[in-house]
Amino acid sequence: MSEKLQKVLARAGHGSRREMEAWIAAGRVSVDGEIASLGDRVETDAKIRIDGRAVSIRSEEEVVCRVIAYHKPEGEICSRKDPEGRPTVFDRLPKTRDSRWVAVGRLDINTSGLLLFTSDGELANRLMHPSNEVEREYAVRTFGEVTDGCIQRLRMGVTLEDGPAHFDKVKAAGGEGMNKWWHVSLAEGRNREVRRLWESQEVQVSRLIRIRYGMIELPKSLPRGGWIELPIEQVNYLRQTAGMDEETRSLLGTDKHSVARNKVRSAKIKRAVHKHKVASGRPKPSRQRS
pLDDT band at 55 (very low <50, low <70, confident <90, very high): confident
Catalytic site includes residue 108: yes
pLDDT band at 24 (very low <50, low <70, confident <90, very high): very high
SS3 (DSSP) at 16: coil
In angstroms, the CA 38 to CA 4 distance is 9
Average pLDDT over residues 232-243: 95
Catalytic site residue from 82, 108, 162, 245: 108
Query: Using N-to-C axis directions, what is the helix angle for 121-128 and 17-25, rounded to 10°?
Result: 100
Distance of CA 253 to the CA centre of its chain: 18
Average pLDDT over residues 17-29: 91
Of the two residues 11 and 43, the one the predictor is more confident about is 43
In angstroms, the CA 287 to CA 231 distance is 41
Distance of CA 155 to the CA centre of its chain: 27
For residue 171, what pLDDT is reported?
A: 95
Over 70: is that where the pLDDT of 289 sits? no
Q: pLDDT of 132-155, one tens digit each? A: 889 999 999 999 889 999 999 999
Domains of the chain by start residue, with CATH: 3-54 (3.10.290.10), 67-130+217-241 (3.30.2350.10), 136-213 (3.30.2350.10)
pLDDT band at 253 (very low <50, low <70, confident <90, very high): low
Instruction: Give the number of other Cβ atoms within 10 Å of residue 182's Cβ.
Output: 23
What single letter denotes the amino acid at residue 90? F
DSSP conformation letters of 119-185: S-HHHHHHHHSTTS---EEEEEEEES---HHHHHHHHH-EEETTEEE--SEEEEEEEETTEEEEEEE
Average pLDDT over residues 106-135: 90
pLDDT-above-70 percentage for the chain: 84
